[in-house]
Amino acid sequence: MKIAIGFSGGKDSTLALYKIQNNPDYEIDSLVVTLTEGLGGVSIHGVRHELLKQQAESLGIQLREVWIPQECSDEKYQEIMKKEFSHMKDAGVTHIVFGDIHLKDIREYREKLLEGTGLTPIFPLWNRSVGEISNEFIQLSFKTVLTCIDMDALDRSFVGRIYDRELINDYPKIHDICGEKGEFHSFVFDGPNFGFPIRFEKGDEKVSPDYFTGRDRFLFIDLIPLESDTKTGPV
């Protein structure tokens, strides 16, 4: 079966990819990423396009870039995605993998979006314990950095931190340690399926307002790409 991965560059989609890579029944076609026009990257994660390209190079998998306009309506988003699904189907893709864990409404949205496309969704992490997923991710030696946090859930000191045992110990127990409810977003820069680590330096922080209330809520940190031709990590 030929598979595409719904990919954000973050930890859950990367772990879902790793699961599929270790299943001999699947042939991986591509990483499907949605990027926002005018912002030059994954808007929710705040990650630059160049870092995603380096990630794909390190993983040895082609990117399928899907560009969406800013302030994109759901109707327009679905129109754009269904065109891409048609291209994928023509290329022989039969399944799409998503890294969702337990949000039923998100899974149902994806399943409905794929209805009639000839593509079947797969959810390798579905209904697993978030604590179990978190521990597995770290035990496998994946390296990831928090690129965006919801300041209603986390102290601003969490942005830019590495997702490791120390962070887990500091993480508020009332919130989802995998960030499934939007507590944080992340960028994976190394792991067992990477050919080389992605190098970057931390840039400026930026606060973004809540779309509905206009209140400052989301804190982003800019990751500035560096050359990745050496076996070193972030600086």
235 confidence band (pLDDT: 50, 70, 90):
very low
pLDDT of residue 229: 55
Sequence ranges of the domains in the chain: 2-225
pLDDT of residue 91: 96
189 confidence band (pLDDT: 50, 70, 90):
very high
Write out pLDDT tens, residues 133-166: 999 999 999 999 999 999 999 999 999 999 999 9
228 confidence band (pLDDT: 50, 70, 90):
low
pLDDT of residue 18: 98
pLDDT of residue 214: 80
pLDDT of residue 72: 87
Centroid of chain to Cα 219: 17
For residue 194, pLDDT beyond 50: yes
CATH class of residue range 2-225: alpha beta
How many C-beta atoms lie closer than 10 Å to residue 187's C-beta?
29
Can you tell me the distance from the alpha carbon of 143 to that of 137, in angstroms, rounded to the nearest whole number?
9
Can you tell me the distance from the alpha carbon of 16 to that of 70, in angstroms, rounded to the nearest whole number?
28
Which among 45, 74, 40 has a CA at the least distance from the CA of 218?
45
For residue 172, pLDDT beyond 60: yes
pLDDT of residue 40: 73
Q: What DSSP assignment string belongs to the chain?
A: -EEEEE--SSHHHHHHHHHHHT-TT-EEEEEEEEEETTTTEETTTTEEHHHHHHHHHHHT--EEEEEE-TT--HHHHHHHHHHHHHHHHHTT--EEE----S-HHHHHHHHHHHTTTT-EEE-TTTT--HHHHHHHHHHTT-EEEEEEEETTTS-GGGTT-B-SHHHHHHS-TTS-TT-TTSSEEEEEEE-TT-SSPPPEEEEEEEEEE-TTT--EEEEEEEEEE----SS----
Average pLDDT over residues 179-208: 96
pLDDT of residue 209: 86
pTM of the model: 0.93
**Looking at this protein, which amino acid is placed at residue 149?**
I
pLDDT of residue 143: 98
Residue that wins the pLDDT comparison between 45 and 92: 92
For residue 63, pLDDT beyond 80: yes
